[in-house]
Amino acid sequence: MKLWHCKDSRSLRPLWALEEMGLTYELEVLPFPPRFLKKEFLDENVLGTVPFFSDAGTTMTESSAICHYLAQRYQKTHFTVDVSHCEYGDYLNWLYHSDATLTFPQTLFLRYEKMEPEERKQPQVASDYRKWFHARLRRLDKHMESREFLNDDRFTIADIAVGYALYLGELNGFSIDYSPQVQRYLRRLKRRPAFVRANEIV
């Protein structure tokens, strides 16, 4: 299997998962944004986004879905929550929440605060989506009041998915406003050897 990755992007989710699961993979590290800086990549992935992943004739472009695929396809089920478990719905919700709710607002901040040329920057949009992101952390704040990990008192791919969104928030300068329990949770995740290995790759 092969993963296309850019440092600090959402491809860190599947890269971290591959390291946690001890799977063998090929990695191609691209400059960001690959759409402009590595145009041949568009021949592989018409979206030009990372992660891009291929395995046995399947290609995937959604970071949380790739983590889900790896765990189920390679029977690393100790990184998942079983359908029969009372927290299954909650686990799935965190997997989807991680990108749709916790990463999406940060991409608007990144684009309009940092990436656009000066004349296209939109301070109002950046500031609104910073606030939006913090408001969307309320569910996680409450959930982590009494837990070490998101589900079943153990580390799963839901922690990878949400952990990346929190890590991106840290890179964006948002972590100063994280609740103490979320700050502790992120520190715990970042100490994991698989996270350290994945994050060292440039």
Ligand X SMILES: N[C@@H](CCC(=O)N[C@@H](CS)C(=O)NCC(=O)O)C(=O)O
Which stretches of the chain bind ligand X, using CB under 6 A?
A: 9-10, 33, 35, 48-51, 62-64, 99
Output DSSP code: residue 161.
Answer: H
Tell me how far, at minimum, the Cβ of 52 lies from ligand X, in Å: 9
HEC letters along 2-44: EEEECCCCCCHHHHHHHHHHCCCCEEEECCCCHHHHCCCHHHH
**From the CB of 153, what's the least distance to ligand X, in Å?**
26
Distance in Å, CB of 146 to ligand X, minimum: 28
Report d(CA 147, CA 40) in Å as an integer. 45
Q: How far is the CB of 99 from ligand X (least distance, A)?
A: 4
- Of residues 152 and 164, the one with the C-beta less far from ligand X: 164
Please say which residue, 49 or 156, places its beta carbon nearer to ligand X. 49
When the beta carbons of 152 and 186 are compared against ligand X, the nearer one is 186
- What is the chain's alpha carbon radius of gyration, rounded to the nearest angstrom? 17
Q: Are strands 58-60 and 52-55 parallel, antiparallel or unpaired?
A: antiparallel
Task: Please give the Cα distance from 108 to 129 (Å, whole number).
Answer: 7
Residue with tokens 């690393």: 76
Between 99 and 152, CB nearer to ligand X: 99
Rounded to the nearest whole angstrom, what is the least distance from the CB of residue 7 to ligand X in the complex? 10
Name which of 47 and 196 has its Cβ closer to ligand X.
47
